[in-house]
Structure 1
């Protein structure tokens, strides 16, 4: 079974065991999951998710007070790939883009090393040899196809 990193646990929230959740790309997944796998702790059922002041607060089974929540700060949170909700045609999870080949004007260029959520937009980190290039995923010159990601860049975007 494959697990996908979906975020990290942040600081505790209030006194009842809530803990801030920092997403690592896959926004909105927690509402669709029954359980998550916590780094070094195993599976925990999700008892609740709420948004408070722009923060996502996660409530996990067995985490009933602030002291228990403090023990989880900084730990990675994973979801089973099979538990992820299906996406509509042409929409991808970040992990599905990592490792894909990148073509520039039809020629092999590099591969996607990671996808970053910068807040305003998602950015592809494209690795070519030792160099990395940042390309906005939503740009009109970026197209995800079955054989890879095709980029027809604006001048200067991929130049050294």
Structure 2
């Protein structure tokens, strides 16, 4: 069983145990989620209120029962995730991939930031010198960044990997 984080619970919503959800919309396709420290819980209802996604879990029927869940991480089993259309990828699948610039390996993806405007790869460099092992931020934007095979290729950006 492999779990991947898909979000966190935010504030309780209304009086019947709803929780605002901050994370991947993939939760709409799941029958159950794994809640940090609590195990699997069935997703009983899901709807949007004023742009916020609200989730109701089995057994969480009051605001008092929802309050202890605020801030907890929510995970899904990789096998439960819906398939994506060609050319789209789950972020967890990019973590650990090697990164090449001009055919030379410069590092690997260690995380991805969602900045709101665009997503950013966090790439930890490889090399002998401490400077070469620094983390660099690269906007995840085509055509400058592309996935080919099992590697990410970045167009040369002056000064970034020099």
TM-score (norm 2): 0.91
Say which structure is richer in helix. 2
Separation of aligned partners in 2, 1:153 and 1:8: 35
Residue 145 of structure 1 aligns with which residue?
Answer: 148
Segment of structure 1 superposing worse, 135-144 or 75-84: 135-144
Pair 1:105 & 2:102 matched: yes
CA RMSD of aligned residues (A): 1.4
The structure having more radius of gyration, on CA atoms, is 2
Correspondence 1:113-132 to 2 at 5 A: 113-129=110-126, 130-132=133-135
Kindly provide the CA deviation profile for residues 17-62 of structure 1, in whole angstroms up to 9, marking residues without a partner as x: 1111111xxx320111000010111111101111222221111111
Kindly state the Cα deviation for residue 96 of structure 1 after the two structures are TM-superposed.
0.1
Number of residues of Structure 1 aligned to a counterpart in Structure 2: 156
Pair 1:38 & 2:35 matched: yes
Stretches of structure 1 that go unaligned for 5 or more consecutive residues are: none
Kindly provide the CA deviation profile for residues 49-108 of structure 1, in whole angstroms up to 9, marking residues without a partner as x: 112222211111111011110011111101010000011222110000000000011100
Separation of aligned partners in 2, 1:134 and 1:110: 12
Separation of aligned partners in 1, 2:82 and 2:10: 24
Is the 2:106–2:161 contact (alpha carbons within 8 Å) kept by the matching residues of 1? Answer: no
Kindly state the Cα deviation for residue 159 of structure 1 after the two structures are TM-superposed.
4.5
Kindly state the Cα deviation for residue 155 of structure 1 after the two structures are TM-superposed.
2.4
Report SS of the residue matched to 2:28.
helix
Residue 129 of structure 2 aligns with which residue?
Answer: none
Stretches of structure 2 that go unaligned for 5 or more consecutive residues are: 127-132
Deviating 4+ runs (over 2 angstroms): 153-156
Pair 1:15 & 2:18 matched: no
Residue of structure 1 aligned with 2:26, choices 25, 29, 47: 29
TM-score (norm 1): 0.92
